[in-house]
Amino acid sequence: MDAGIDKKRIVQVYTGEGKGKTTAALGLIVRALGQGFRVLLARFLKPAAAGSGELLFFRGIEGIDILSSGMGYLEGLNDWEGLRATVEKTYLEVQRSVLSGRYDLVVLDEINNAMHLGLVSVAEVIDLLDRRPQHTEMVLTGRNAPVEIIDKAELVTRMEKIKHVYENGIDARRGIEF
């Protein structure tokens, strides 16, 4: 955990309607791992069993732990209570993990949407950001970042959608979107 830990760590937010929020966070993870950082990637609203390229890539890579909560696409989801339970369980594990001091970088992927949907409390997330160890950088991704989170962060990037392939009927492509 001492690799390059010589400056205060900050809170970063990647939000907006555009593509690239998770991708930006994954690039930061690769950079951090290359510098010997310990990384936690917590994926909210994304199932653990999904065959996404990042999960396939990070499997077996030393220095990263991955937590996932989700049940696939939210559109048409019937089991909101099941989703709430899995998100709550994952968030409790995130809290324990962050406060343990084990990680230099923690990425909470799609946490902004989880807060927007009322699955995770904004106040709880702010409390965690306040109590995190000084050496832990936090990255929160997803659309609909609450204003309280934006105000708390030291770095905020809003991805703007100009055009998107989905609008032309092109579905998510293996190796590109997942």
* In a domain? residue 27: yes
Q: What one-letter code names the amino acid at 6?
A: D
Question: What is the pTM (predicted TM-score) of this model?
Answer: 0.89
CA distance 176 to 112: 22
Helix or strand holding residue 55 (H, E): helix 53-58
| Cα dihedral: 58, 4, 43, 65 (round 10) | 50
In a domain, 178, yes or no: no
**Amino acid identity of 104?**
D
For residue 167, is it within any domain? Answer: no
Beta carbons within 8 Å of 99's beta carbon, 6+ residues apart = 128, 131, 132, 133
Q: Which domain holds residue 24?
A: 11-71+82-145
Number of independent structural domains in the chain: 1
Flag whether 104 is in a domain: yes
In a domain, 109, yes or no: yes
* Tens of each residue's pLDDT in the chain, 178 residues: 555 556 789 999 999 999 999 999 999 999 999 999 999 999 998 776 667 888 889 988 999 999 988 655 555 566 778 788 888 999 999 999 999 999 999 999 999 999 999 999 999 999 999 999 999 999 999 999 999 999 999 999 999 988 878 788 888 887 877 7
Lateral strand order in the sheet of 11-16: 64-69, 39-44, 105-109, 137-141, 11-16, 155-159
DSSP state for residue 35 in the 8-state scheme: T
CATH code, domain with 125: 3.40.50.300
Rounded-to-integer distance, Cα 66 and Cα 80, Å: 23
CB count, 10 Å around CB of 19?
15
Q: Does residue 156 fall inside a structural domain?
A: no
Whether 90 is covered by a domain: the verdict is yes
| Contact status, residue 149 vs residue 13, Cβ threshold 8 Å | yes
